[in-house]
Amino acid sequence: MGNARFSDDFKRDAVHQITVRGYPVKEVSQRLGVSTHSLYSWVKKYSTSYKTREDARRDVFDYIEMFYNPKRKHARNEMLSPVEFERQQKMKQEGV
């Protein structure tokens, strides 16, 4: 994903896929080879408002569940992200 430069048209099209066509951010990210972080910043920059409260709620939920929560570190599990903590727990159970 790196430091690729994308045109404004490309960014607007990506935002359109998320905000108008309703594709999940993670799916668009994988399909276009763009980080979810970039997509969220493009949505903030290129979209004006949500059509309904439900659209806004869905996007916030998607951001929290797909981008923020998997990476956020927790004090209760040795300052590991949930994904890393679960990976380590699985390895312990398997005896690796």
CB-CB contact of 25 with 62 (8 Å): yes
pLDDT for position 22: 85
pLDDT for position 96: 64
The upper half-sphere exposure of residue 51, i.e. CA atoms within 13 Å in the direction of its Cβ, equals 7
Amino acid, res. 69: N
Provide the residue ranges of all domains of the chain, joining segments of one domain with +: 8-71
- 80 has which bridge partners? 74
pLDDT for position 34: 95
Neighbours of 52 (CB within 10 A): 8
**pLDDT tens for the chain, residues 1 to 96:** 455 689 999 999 999 899 878 889 999 999 999 999 999 999 989 876 778 999 889 888 988 888 777 778 888 888 888 888 888 999 989 886
pLDDT for position 48: 63
Long-range pairs, 45-48, Cβ under 8 A, ≥24: 45/11, 46/8, 46/11, 46/12, 46/15, 47/15, 47/19
